[in-house]
Structure 1
Amino acid sequence: MDKKLLSLIIFLALLNAGSCKDDSLRQYLQPSDVLSGAYDETYLSTNSSLCTRQCTGASKICYYEFFTEMYSSMGLACKDCPFNREDCFAPQCVTVDGVPRGIVTYNRIFPGPSIQVCKGDVIVVDVHNHLPSDSTSIHWHGIRHKNSPYYDGVPKVTQCPIHPGTTFRYIYNASEEGTFFYHSHSGLQKVDGLSGTLIVREKKEDEHISHLYDFDLPSHTVMVSDWMHLDSGQFLPGITNERSLPKSYLVNGRGIFAPTGQSVNIDQGSLPLTEFTVKKGKRYRFRLIGGTCLACLAAVTFLDHRVSVVFGDGAGPVEPTLVDKIVLNSGDRFDVILEANQSVDTYWIMVRGLGGKNSSTSCYNAQQFALLKYEGHNGKPSTPYPGTADVPEGITLNPENSSCNDPNEVCLTHLQSFTPLPEDLKGKPDEILFVRFSNYRYEFSDLFENGTFQPFFVVSPAGGPIKSLVNNVMNFLPPSPLMSQYEDVPNSSFCRPECYSKDIQKPCTCLNVLKVKLNSVVDVILTGTGVAHPFHLHGYNFYIMEEGSLEGDVENGLKNLVKRLMKGDWHNSKPIQKDTVGVPHNGYVVVRFKADNPGLWFFHCHFLFHLDSGMSGILQVGEPSDFQPVPEGFPKCGDFLPPLPA
Structure 2
Amino acid sequence: MADCGESQKQGQAFAIIRYEGASEEQPSASSNYLDSKRGGMLLNPWNEKATETKLPVTKLNALIEDFDGMDGTPDKKFYVTFDFNKLDNFHFNHPELYPLQSINKNKHLYSPQMNGISNHLPSSPPLTQFDDVSEEMYCNVDTVKNKNCSREFCQCVHRLVVDLNDVVEIILIDEGVTFNANHPTHLHGHTFRVVGMGKEMYCNVDTVKNKNCSREFCQCVHRLVVDLNDVVEIILIDEGVTFNANHPTHLHGHTFRVVGMGKLNVSTSLEEVMRLDREGLIERKLSKAVAKDTVTVPDGGYTVIRFHANNPGMWFFHCHIEFHVEIGMGLLIQVGSKDDMPKRPKGFPTCGIILG
In the superposition, the TM-score normalised over structure 2's length comes to: 0.67
TM-aligned CA distance change 1:243 to 1:513, over 3 Å = farther
Aligned to 1:584, the other structure's residue is in SS state coil
Query: How many residues matched?
Result: 280
Q: Which has the higher strand share?
A: 2
Aligned to 1:542, the other structure's residue is in SS state strand
* Higher alpha-carbon Rg: 1
Which 4+ residue blocks in structure 1 deviate beyond 6 angstroms? Answer: 450-454
> How far, CA to CA, are the matches of 1:602 and 1:489 in structure 2?
15
- The answer on whether the counterparts of 2:90 and 2:217 sit within 8 Å (CA) in structure 1 is no
- The answer on whether the counterparts of 1:534 and 1:582 sit within 8 Å (CA) in structure 2 is yes
Q: CA deviation at 1:478?
A: 1.8
Aligned to 1:559, the other structure's residue is in SS state helix
Match of 1:480 in 2: 124
Match of 2:185 in 1: none
TM-aligned CA distance change 1:409 to 1:556, over 3 Å = closer
TM-aligned CA distance change 1:488 to 1:561, over 3 Å = same
Match of 2:176 in 1: none
Q: CA deviation at 1:559?
A: 3.0
TM-aligned CA distance change 1:635 to 1:447, over 3 Å = closer
Match of 1:407 in 2: 52
Aligned to 1:541, the other structure's residue is in SS state strand
> How far, CA to CA, are the matches of 1:545 and 1:436 in structure 2?
17
TM-aligned CA distance change 1:336 to 1:393, over 3 Å = farther
Report whether the alignment pairs 1:617 with 2:331: yes
Q: Which has the higher helix share?
A: 1
In the superposition, the TM-score normalised over structure 1's length comes to: 0.39
Match of 2:66 in 1: 421
Which of the numbers 250, 269, 276 marks the counterpart of 1:560? 276
Which of the numbers 29, 40, 43 marks the counterpart of 1:397? 43
Report whether the alignment pairs 1:591 with 2:274: no
TM-aligned CA distance change 1:351 to 1:523, over 3 Å = farther
> How far, CA to CA, are the matches of 2:5 and 2:63 in structure 1?
47
Amino acid at match of 1:510: C
Q: Deviations over 1:186-206 (max 9, x none)?
A: xxxxxxxxxxxxxxxxxxxxx
Match of 2:230 in 1: 520
Instruction: Note the 1:319-334 alignment, pairs <5 A.
Output: none
> How far, CA to CA, are the matches of 2:58 and 2:355 in structure 1?
52
Q: Structure 2: where are the runs of 5+ without partners? A: 148-204
Match of 2:80 in 1: 435
Amino acid at match of 1:629: K
> How far, CA to CA, are the matches of 1:445 and 1:633 in structure 2?
37
Amino acid at match of 1:504: K
Amino acid at match of 1:438: D
Q: CA deviation at 1:540?
A: 0.8
Q: CA deviation at 1:604?
A: 0.4
Match of 1:380 in 2: none
Aligned to 1:465, the other structure's residue is in SS state coil
Q: CA deviation at 1:631?
A: 2.1
TM-aligned CA distance change 1:452 to 1:603, over 3 Å = farther
Q: Structure 1: where are the runs of 5+ without partners? A: 1-225, 227-237, 250-297, 303-333, 353-366, 368-386
- The answer on whether the counterparts of 2:124 and 2:351 sit within 8 Å (CA) in structure 1 is yes
Aligned to 2:228, the other structure's residue is in SS state coil
> How far, CA to CA, are the matches of 2:250 and 2:329 in structure 1?
11
> How far, CA to CA, are the matches of 1:556 and 1:247 in structure 2?
33
Bigger relative contact order (CA 8 A; separation at least 6): 2
> How far, CA to CA, are the matches of 1:544 and 1:335 in structure 2?
23
Report whether the alignment pairs 1:504 with 2:151: no
Amino acid at match of 2:230: S
Aligned to 1:583, the other structure's residue is in SS state coil
> How far, CA to CA, are the matches of 2:336 and 2:296 in structure 1?
27
Q: Deviations over 1:364-409 (max 9, x none)?
A: xxx4xxxxxxxxxxxxxxxxxxx629x84221111112321x2222
Which of the numbers 23, 35, 56 marks the counterpart of 1:388? 35
Q: Deviations over 1:79-115 (max 9, x none)?
A: xxxxxxxxxxxxxxxxxxxxxxxxxxxxxxxxxxxxx
